[in-house]
Amino acid sequence: MKDFHDKVQQNRRVQRRMATCFCVALFIFLASLSAYFVLQFEPVQRKYFYVYPYHETVMKYAEQYHVDSNLTAAVIKSESKFKHEARSHRGAVGLMQLMPDTAQWIARQLGDVNYSLEGLHEPDRNIRYGTWYLSDLEKEFHGNDVLALAAYNAGRGNVHEWMKTNNWPEDFKDIDAIPYKETRDYVRQVIGDQKKYRELYPGE
């Protein structure tokens, strides 16, 4: 009789543990499901994941230099997360992470006699330079976003070398074929973010 009683108690303990595990798993599932739907809510994405500071400045220079404003926004998000004081370990500066030598060259093309390294932290100047540079790369690579972004990240010289060595056409789109992992990841990220900005800020 004692053995029977012990077995009943053991079964009850097992059932309680199973019930507890089921409740915990159900709670985690429902919490995850709720979090997923909350994160898909556009105002949440706009506020926390796809912010858009300097919107008017981006729009102004995108229109002036004939660049998709969503592409500029996506580049800024990837480069600096919209932090104007950003500076990389390689020396890239500001919102669009311009290298000083490149920025100085851009200033000459734009006839900006007031160029200074510290001035690159100014949002207006940095966005102007970076957007013009994107425009210049888009023209050089015949409107191919993949090649233009690869050049923005790895340098136009590298991209021309890859095109020559691998016989890439002007309409090249195979991101996985880009030799540098950092550049592959960068191009994929920016193009994905460009699409998301277009969805979240339609008509802008």
Q: C-alpha angle with apex 69: 85 to 124, nearest 5 degrees?
A: 35
Got the DSSP string for 134-189?
Answer: HHHHHHHTTT-HHHHHHHHHH-HHHHHHHHHHHT--TT---GGG-S-HHHHHHHHH
Does 42 participate in catalysis according to the annotation? Answer: no
Assigned token pair, 5: 């009683």
Alpha-carbon span 43 to 111, nearest angstrom = 40
For tokens 């973010």, the residue is: 193
Residue 83: what residue type? K
Catalytic member of 79, 85, 138, 199: 79
Active site residues: 79
